[in-house]
């Protein structure tokens, strides 16, 4: 009654229809699996669904669904995603005492209850504790008919976890590198955009709030190593001087830890695998200190600006 806004008194009407019938309904064809998002979408619309990609790694650097790329100071707990199906929260703390640069130390992911597909599942990772199970000890979505549409696995225990959520067309990868956690997601566009006005603070949607972006006005010039050394270390695995390269330079420069090169390289490889449009793989600054855009031909001219922007914090 409450679900359909029905009165508890007086005559009642049947609930509204669930939506348009799928192609082939009533024609003898088997009904699509409600816990196979891609199959169901393709059957309904006659085309595959669209996908979006977001990532957070290192400082953290956040690549949003809309290809903005921010270097953030966010301390404490901040939502990467908050929609009708998923909640993802990253908790960060300073890289060093008194530093503006932070790193993600904890990730919490909630897969919300979904009818016949899954029970609500919570995954929580912290530095040096990357479990290959949900909080309740399970490795799938539970005992419902579509429970297998949510699964968790690893090929590198302690350093890499992959969560497949086929019922919402989503893949999540979590990695531990250099004492920080990286997050990467490929998610169906309809799922990513299923949120209300009250859920407007999502780093994957809007990037870091302006007040949380490291700006040129903040002075923290000292690095743990020289910029030339940081560039050389990053160049070995990131030959294109794009946002991933310059983020790597910033992280290695500030931390002095060459392992941060691995975090940037992995984030780039995830983007290569997850982005539907590889022309947007490499992002370059349209102006120092503002969101990035793809501009391959401008890269040589603009890379120096981005190095300056990252390194004078």
Please state the rounded mean pLDDT for residues 177-202: 94
Residue 260 within a domain: no
Q: Tens digit of pLDDT for each residue in 230-252?
A: 999 999 999 999 999 999 999 99
Residue 192 within a domain: yes
Structural domain boundaries enclosing 100: 51-207
Residue 238 within a domain: no
Using 50, 70 and 90 to split pLDDT, how confident is the model at 48? very high
Please state the rounded mean pLDDT for residues 259-265: 96
The pTM score is 0.82
In sequence order, what are the residues at sequence separation of 6 or more whose Cβ sits closer than 8 angstroms to the Cβ of residue 90? 56, 60, 74, 77, 78, 79, 80, 104, 106, 107, 181, 183, 203
Q: Tens digit of pLDDT for each residue in 91-125?
A: 998 876 666 678 899 999 999 999 889 999 999 99
Strand ranges of the sheet holding 160-165, from the earlier edge strand across to the other edge = 69-71, 61-63, 51-57, 180-188, 170-177, 160-165, 150-156
Residue 15 within a domain: no
The number of angstroms, rounded, from the C-alpha of 29 to the middle of its chain's C-alpha atoms is 37
Q: Which value, in Å, is the radius of gyration of the alpha carbons in the chain? A: 22
Cβ–Cβ < 8 Å for 86, 107:
no
- Nearest to 169, CA basis, from 280, 48, 47: 48
More confident residue, 292 or 190: 190
CATH number, residue 170: 3.40.1000.10
DSSP 98: T
Residue 130 within a domain: yes
Q: Report phi then psi at 216, rounded to 5.
A: -70, -20
Q: Report phi then psi at 157, rounded to 5.
A: -55, 135
Residue 143 within a domain: yes
Residue 61 within a domain: yes
Query: Can you name the residues that pair with 188 across neighbouring β-strands?
Result: 51
Strand ranges of the sheet holding 76-82, from the earlier edge strand across to the other edge = 76-82, 86-94, 102-111, 121-126
Residue 271 within a domain: no
Question: What is residue 69's predicted lDDT score, i.e. its pLDDT?
Answer: 94
Domain count, the chain: 1
């Amino acid at each position: 009654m409450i679900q359909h806004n029905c009165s508890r008194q007086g005559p009642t009407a049947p609930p509204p229809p669930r939506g348009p019938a799928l192609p082939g309904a009533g024609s003898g064809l088997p009904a699509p699996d409600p816990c196979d998002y891609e199959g169901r979408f393709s059957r309904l619309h006659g085309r595959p669904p669209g996908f979006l990609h977001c990532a957070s790694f290192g400082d953290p650097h956040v690549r949003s669904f809309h290809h903005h790329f921010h270097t953030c100071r966010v301390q404490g707990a901040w939502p990467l995603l908050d929609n009708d199906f998923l909640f993802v929260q990253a908790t960060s703390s300073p890289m060093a005492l008194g530093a503006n640069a932070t790193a993600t130390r904890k990730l919490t992911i909630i897969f919300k209850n979904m009818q016949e597909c899954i029970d609500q599942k919570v995954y929580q990772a912290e530095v040096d504790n990357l479990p290959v199970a949900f909080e309740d000890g399970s490795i799938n979505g539970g005992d419902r008919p579509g429970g297998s549409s949510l699964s968790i696995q690893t090929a590198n225990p302690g350093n890499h976890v992959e969560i497949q959520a086929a019922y919402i067309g989503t893949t999540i990868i979590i990695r531990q590198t250099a004492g920080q956690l990286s997050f990467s997601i490929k998610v169906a566009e309809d799922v990513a955009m299923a949120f209300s006005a009250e859920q407007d603070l999502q780093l994957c949607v809007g990037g870091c709030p302006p007040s949380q972006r490291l700006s040129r006005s903040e002075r923290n010039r000292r690095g743990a190593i020289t910029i030339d050394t940081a560039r050389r270390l990053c160049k070995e695995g990131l030959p294109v001087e794009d946002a991933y390269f310059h983020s790597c330079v910033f992280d290695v420069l500030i931390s002095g830890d060459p392992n941060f090169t691995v975090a940037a390289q992995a984030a780039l490889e995830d983007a290569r695998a997850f982005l539907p449009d590889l022309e947007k793989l490499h992002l370059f600054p349209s102006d120092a200190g503002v969101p990035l855009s793809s501009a391959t031909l401008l890269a040589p001219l603009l890379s120096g600006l981005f190095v300056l922007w990252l390194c004078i914090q």
